[in-house]
Amino acid sequence: AASYVGFDSITQQIEHKLLKRGFQFNVIVVGQTGLGKSTLINTIFASHLIDSKGRLEAEEPVRQTTDIQAVSHVIVENGVKLRLNIVDTPGYGDQVNNDNCWDPIVKYIKDQHSAYLRKELTAMRDRYIQDTRIHCALFFINPTGHSLRPIDVIVMKKLSEVVNVVPVIAKSDSLTSEERELFKQKIRAELVHNLIGLYPFDTDENDEEEIQLNESIRNMIPFAVVGSERNVIIDGKSVRGRKNRWGVVNVENEQHCEFMHLRNFLLRTHLQDLIETTAQIHYEAFRKRQLLALKD
């Protein structure tokens, strides 16, 4: 048509720019030592992390993480570049006295906000700022089948004030499916009782489909996961899994655990929203407080 001027190419322009730049996704893992944090991360990004520094030797002894450490990876799928920062935390709640054991983790998250704010205030407006803000805290719950420890409730509450918290039941292959379902219900009730509002949050911008998806996520949380760095043979096929007392668990089988739900949630359905929510809600709240404090 004569009136066509071509601004619809803006979607390609944006795509081109974004693809060149790539996406930054920063995850922190929180939970007691031995709950399978490193294993789960390696399972989620398995094939991609094989060349990098990730721990993939199954025979290697379990090392205790003694300090907060960030490891960076760049992974590419169909020309889309994802820069990944995985932040491992010292097993919190391992000590006899756990008072304030969450402080270093909350501080780490705030420090990233602070660093971003400094760069934002000093850098030229249109310059790309290296983003280390944490988009997601994977919170590992001990698969006791009973209830959350008081310390878990406190830490989830503290974390949810500064970051998107995604709780998972660690090593859920140690529970029967009935135990698992009861445990999940119990935990959801405890979250409500303690007024812990977890990600995902609905906004005015959400359409009907997104609202329904968020609702189904909230009804599934915490994800009952199983991680494994090894393959096992099931029906003649080699799959990511583990052998236990009851048989063989196929990590990627939705009848066995909710690993696939978690991975799809993190990487397929909510990656962009986790990033946006971090900037628009958590970072914005931090920024407001900082700028107000500066005025006094």
Number of chain residues interacting with Mg ion (CB under 5 A): 3
Residue 243's nearest CA partner among 258, 254, 233, 255 is 233
Q: Does 112 bind ligand GDP (CB under 6 A)?
A: no
Are 85 and 137 in contact, with CB atoms under 8 Å apart?
Answer: no
171 binds, among ligand GDP, Mg ion, none (CB under 5 to 8 A by kind): ligand GDP
Q: Does 156 bind ligand GDP (CB under 6 A)?
A: no
Closer to ligand GDP at the Cβ: 142 or 278?
Answer: 142
Q: Give the residue, chosen from 38, 89, 132, 214, that forms a contact with ligand GDP under the rule CB under 6 A.
A: 38
Please state the closest distance from residue 40 (CB atom) to ligand GDP, in A: 6
Q: Which residue is nearest to ligand GDP (CB)?
A: 36
- For the chain, count helices (H), then strands (E): 10, 9
Q: Does 39 bind Mg ion (CB under 5 A)?
A: no
Please report which helix (H) or strand (E) contains residue 209, including its range. Answer: helix 208-220
Closer to ligand GDP at the Cβ: 251 or 275?
Answer: 251
Task: From 31-39, 105-113, 177-185, 196-204, give the range in contact with Mg ion by CB under 5 A.
Answer: 31-39
Q: Which of residues 1-20 bind ligand GDP (CB under 6 A)?
A: none
Please state the closest distance from residue 259 (CB atom) to ligand GDP, in A: 9
Q: Does 226 bind ligand GDP (CB under 6 A)?
A: yes
Q: Does 50 bind ligand GDP (CB under 6 A)?
A: no
What does the DSSP assignment read for 129-142?
PP-----EEEEEEP
Are 248 and 234 in contact, with CB atoms under 8 Å apart?
Answer: yes
Q: Does 34 bind ligand GDP (CB under 6 A)?
A: yes
Residue 231's nearest CA partner among 50, 32, 33 is 50
Please tell me the distance from the alpha carbon of residue 195 to that of residue 34, in angstroms, as a whole number. 28
Closer to ligand GDP at the Cβ: 37 or 110?
Answer: 37
Q: Which residues pair with 84 in a beta bridge?
A: 25, 73
**160-198 in b/e burial notation, b at 16+ Cβ within 10 A?**
bebbbbbbbbbbbbbbeeebbeebbeebbeebeeeebeb
Number of chain residues interacting with ligand GDP (CB under 6 A): 15
Q: Give the residue, chosen from 23, 24, 33, 147, that forms a contact with ligand GDP under the rule CB under 6 A.
A: 33
Chain-centroid distance, C-alpha 37: 11
Please tell me the distance from the alpha carbon of residue 155 to that of residue 271, in angstroms, as a whole number. 23
266 binds, among Mg ion, ligand GDP, none (CB under 5 to 8 A by kind): none
Task: From 4-12, 31-39, 97-105, 151-159, give the range in contact with ligand GDP by CB under 6 A.
Answer: 31-39
Residue 145's nearest CA partner among 181, 183, 107 is 183
| One character per residue 158-197, x = contact with ligand GDP (rule: CB under 6 A) | -------------x-xx-----------------------
What 8-state DSSP symbol labels residue 127?
A: S
Q: Give the residue, chosen from 14, 19, 50, 62, that forms a contact with ligand GDP under the rule CB under 6 A.
A: 62
Q: Give the residue, chosen from 38, 42, 112, 164, that forms a contact with Mg ion under the rule CB under 5 A.
A: 38
Residue 184's nearest CA partner among 137, 160, 153, 218 is 218
Tell me which residues touch Mg ion (CB under 5 A): 37-38, 65
